[in-house]
Chain A
Amino acid sequence: MTNLAIAANGLRKSYGDKVVLDGIDLAVPEATIFSLLGPNGAGKTTTVQILSTLIAADGGTAAVGGHDLARKPDDVRGAIGVTGQYSAVDKLLTGEENLLLMADLKHLSRRDGKRKAAELLERFDLLDAARKPAATYSGGMQRRLDLAMTLVGDPRLIFLDEPTTGLDPRSRRSMWQIVRELVASGVTIFLTTQYLEEADELADRIALLDHGRLIAEGTPEELKRLIPGGHIELTFADTHLLDAARHLLGTGIADPQALTLQVPSDGGVRAIRELLVVLDEHSIDIADLSVHTPDLDDVFLTLTGQHKETTR
């Protein structure tokens, strides 16, 4: 059995009448990237704030890094690192001073602190700016310093709350690379993002959060399979063939104008082969064939759309 870095049960949080988290369960295995995906206001940041001991949940239990969140918050704090959505660097201090400050607060010896700071400055490409105040850094540099500060104490579990929001594509890619390296070294990452691409790119498992509820959870592939919308689109030379195919298959949406027939399918190779065999046996030629597998965008829009309708 794999150990869980995060195990949460029925977490709830309300601010006044507004329910922000409506009972969410999480199970994040060690050394994996878990992504909480959702639109603005879904409750992603609140989840991170609760799991990182910043705010208390109104209900539910959680163990983070093996420690009970409510009873042993200080042990949780000792096990985690947090890089929030808003830059958590001291802008008046230099990059190096920021890292040394973290080393002091992690109670490293002076020598270990200096070595760690130098190593992180090098790794995060901040050597040239090490002696400049963080206020003069670009957005991407501040975010890198921010993450470097989080890594000073070698936390085994890192929360990244929208780590690439507002970054240019190049900085985003370099952040992704860093995240992959961290997981390769055995660190667990809890990542929130509003970018489907980011979750698809990085995460081992994704949970979709909407209006304070988890509406789906699984690997990116599982989620894509979860929803209808996958189909094979056949194009024919004339309406005669189109009608024949539709009668034969007994299903599908025909478009006489475009001479296409959309046949529901998971888009797998086996399904395609079977379809082609049936058509061939009846000598129905096709002019063109395309496979449409749902992407996370479809999953997201379908699920959040459905969810909105059921809550109305």
Chain B
Amino acid sequence: MSTLTLAVRDSSTMVRRQLKRLIRYPSMTVQLVVTPAILLLVFVYVLGGTLGNGLGGGGGGRDAYVNYIVPGILLMAAATAATGTAVMVATDMTEGIIARFRTMRIYRASVLTGHVVASVIQQLLGMIVLIVIALVIGFRPNATAIEWLATAGLLTLFAIAITWLSVALGLKSPTPEAASNAPMPLVLLPFLGSGFVPTDSMPTVLRWFAEYQPFTPIMETIRGLLLGTPIGNSAAIALAWCVGLTAVSYLWAKNTFNKA
């Protein structure tokens, strides 16, 4: 069997393993949808009326805010899932089964690929549920089919990037408890960017950070694709971040796994 067929076959076996585990351990998946869903409802119904008025442009109020917040919520869902992935990877490493895999003639990184692919599938399903909830409470995107497709593509790239990062963080963590803390900052990044309010309302230092951190161009691009706001160079920057983060995290994770 060639290396590539071996890699694909073993990786798909590991994806099936991981999907079964996710089904068997559903609280992680539920948490991944529930946490962002609650935030969505709180922000829209409690804060949305006021925050929406501060957005500027036409309309304002709650209706405008639902539209504004969706990209941030989607990324937050991915970041929440990343925490779960880091914990799962760290837990996996404490189990003897990983030592067993290492003594078998299989494609080495397939264990990690299994985690990533299963987690990305889980995240995309979670995002679909969140979009449906948003649509029910007044989210009104004006995207064409191609724009929806581009959105799905970018969200998938982002999910892959953040999941490889969390796999690396999970591998680096000495315990599953530590692994649950490591990706915490990722969950906060939508707040410290253009996820919940426009960056130009922030003080200088924070605004500088908010504009240059990776989540902002991604959120801006999705906002542009779904609602028609200007995208500018955000799309290119977003793609660069996703690809770069994936490459670095993948190598970091693979290296860490092979050394352990």
Give the residue name and chain of the A residue nearest to B92 (CB).
Answer: A90
Within 8 A of A (CB), among B1-32: 1, 9-10, 13, 16-17, 20-21, 24-25
Residues of A close to B102: CB separation below 8 A: 53-54
Within 8 A of B (CB), among A55-105: 74-75, 77-78, 80, 82, 84, 86-93, 97, 101, 104-105
Identify which of B21, B25, B97 contacts A88 (C-beta below 8 A).
B97
Give the residue name and chain of the B residue nearest to A106 (CB).
Answer: B104
- A–B Cβ pairs within 8 angstroms, 24 of them: A53-B102, A54-B103, A78-B105, A80-B103, A84-B96, A86-B99, A87-B96, A88-B97, A88-B99, A88-B100, A89-B97, A91-B95, A92-B21, A92-B24, A97-B20, A101-B13, A101-B17, A104-B9, A105-B10, A105-B13, A105-B101, A105-B106, A146-B96, A149-B100
Q: Which chain B residues have a beta carbon within 8 Å of chain A's beta carbons? A: 1, 9-10, 13, 16-17, 20-21, 24-25, 95-97, 99-106
Q: Do the beta carbons of A133 and B105 come within 8 Å of each other?
A: no
Q: Do the beta carbons of A93 and B21 come within 8 Å of each other?
A: yes
Given known contacts A53-B103, A74-B105, A80-B103, is B9 in contact with A90 (CB within 8 Å)? Answer: no
Cα distance A53–B21 in the bound complex, in angstroms: 27
Give the residue name and chain of the B residue nearest to A77 (CB).
Answer: B105
Cα distance A263–B2 in the bound complex, in angstroms: 69
Q: Do the beta carbons of B20 and A93 come within 8 Å of each other?
A: yes
Interface size on A, residues (CB 8 A): 28
Identify which of A78, A90, A104, A149 contacts B95 (C-beta below 8 A).
A90
Residues of B close to A97: CB separation below 8 A: 20
**8 extra A-B contacts, CB within 8 A, seeds A86-B96, A90-B95:** A53-B103, A54-B102, A90-B21, A92-B21, A93-B20, A93-B21, A104-B13, A150-B100
A164 at the interface (CB under 8 A from B): no
If over half of B's interface residues share one DSSP class (helix, strand or loop), that class is named, otherwise mixed; here it is helix
| Min CB–CB distance B249 → chain A (angstroms) | 25
Identify which of A77, A101, A106, A107 contacts B103 (C-beta below 8 A).
A77
Give the residue name and chain of the B residue nearest to A93 (CB).
Answer: B20
Residues of B close to A101: CB separation below 8 A: 13, 17
A52 at the interface (CB under 8 A from B): yes
Q: Do the beta carbons of B1 and A77 come within 8 Å of each other?
A: no
Residues of A close to B96: CB separation below 8 A: 84, 86-89, 146
Cα distance A195–B80 in the bound complex, in angstroms: 48
Going nearest first, the 7 A-B pairs with the smallest beta carbon separation are A88-B96, A88-B100, A78-B105, A77-B105, A104-B13, A86-B96, A82-B103
Cα distance A106–B9 in the bound complex, in angstroms: 10
Q: Do the beta carbons of B105 and A90 come within 8 Å of each other?
A: no
Give the residue name and chain of the B residue nearest to A134 (CB).
Answer: B97
Q: Do the beta carbons of A77 and B99 come within 8 Å of each other?
A: no
Cα distance A104–B1 in the bound complex, in angstroms: 14
Cα distance A75–B105 in the bound complex, in angstroms: 7
Cα distance A97–B1 in the bound complex, in angstroms: 24
Residues of A close to B97: CB separation below 8 A: 88-90
| Min CB–CB distance B170 → chain A (angstroms) | 16
Residues of A close to B1: CB separation below 8 A: 107
Give the residue name and chain of the A residue nearest to B10 (CB).
Answer: A105
Give the residue name and chain of the B residue nearest to A105 (CB).
Answer: B106
Give the residue name and chain of the A residue nearest to B6 (CB).
Answer: A107
Identify which of B10, B24, B99 contacts A93 (C-beta below 8 A).
B24
Residues of A close to B16: CB separation below 8 A: 104
A 163-179 binary contact with B (CB < 8 Å = 1; else 0): 00000000000000000
Residues of B close to A80: CB separation below 8 A: 103
Residues of A close to B25: CB separation below 8 A: 92
Cα distance A75–B104 in the bound complex, in angstroms: 10
Give the residue name and chain of the A residue nearest to B100 (CB).
Answer: A88
Identify which of A91, A93, A105, A133 contacts B104 (C-beta below 8 A).
A105
| Min CB–CB distance A108 → chain B (angstroms) | 11
Q: Do the beta carbons of B104 and A77 come within 8 Å of each other?
A: yes
Q: Do the beta carbons of B95 and A84 come within 8 Å of each other?
A: no
Cα distance A4–B13 in the bound complex, in angstroms: 34
Cα distance A86–B96 in the bound complex, in angstroms: 6
| Min CB–CB distance A156 → chain B (angstroms) | 14
Cα distance A199–B96 in the bound complex, in angstroms: 24
Give the residue name and chain of the A residue nearest to B23 (CB).
Answer: A92
A 128-165 binary contact with B (CB < 8 Å = 1; else 0): 00000100000000000010011000000000000000
